[in-house]
């Protein structure tokens, strides 16, 4: 699968979400960026900071959110499908919180 390129503007947040049928691997192409992860629906108070060229592995079911810091961030995202009989797609997004009103 080709990577999906995520652009995150300064001080913006993408969805607090998880997936049933996939994990994800993110590589920071231009950072730093903030990342929140949790095995529960509760978010930590502070994101972990990842710099350019660092890799983040997000396992299936892990809640996660990408956060922009002081400048635009660029992250390459690759999906890791966990069920070969039911490949993942965009319908596998479970958004728990979204600043843009998406469900």
What confidence tens digit (pLDDT) does each residue in 30-83 have?
Answer: 999 999 999 999 998 899 999 999 999 999 999 999 999 999 999 999 999 888
Q: Is residue 82 part of a domain?
A: yes
Domain count, the chain: 1
Q: How far apart are CA 36 and CA 18, in angstroms?
A: 12
Q: What's the pLDDT band for 90 if we cut at 50, 70, 90? A: confident
The CATH number given to whatever domain includes residue 27 is 2.60.120.10
Q: Is residue 103 part of a domain?
A: no
Q: How far apart are CA 10 and CA 55, in angstroms?
A: 20
pLDDT on residue 1: 65
Q: Is residue 35 part of a domain?
A: yes
* Whole-structure pTM value: 0.92
Question: What is the domain range of residue 29?
Answer: 4-97
Q: Which residue has the higher pLDDT, 95 or 83?
A: 95
């Amino acid at each position: 699968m080709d990577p999906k390129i995520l652009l995150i503007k300064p001080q913006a947040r993408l969805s607090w979400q998880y997936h049933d049928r996939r994990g994800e691997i993110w590589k920071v192409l231009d950072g730093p960026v903030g990342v929140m992860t949790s095995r529960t629906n509760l978010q930590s108070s502070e994101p972990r900071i990842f710099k350019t060229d660092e890799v983040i592995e997000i396992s299936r079911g892990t809640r996660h959110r990408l956060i922009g810091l002081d400048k635009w961030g660029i992250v390459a995202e690759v999906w890791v499908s966990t069920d070969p009989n039911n490949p993942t797609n965009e319908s596998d997004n479970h958004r728990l919180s979204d600043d843009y009103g998406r469900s």
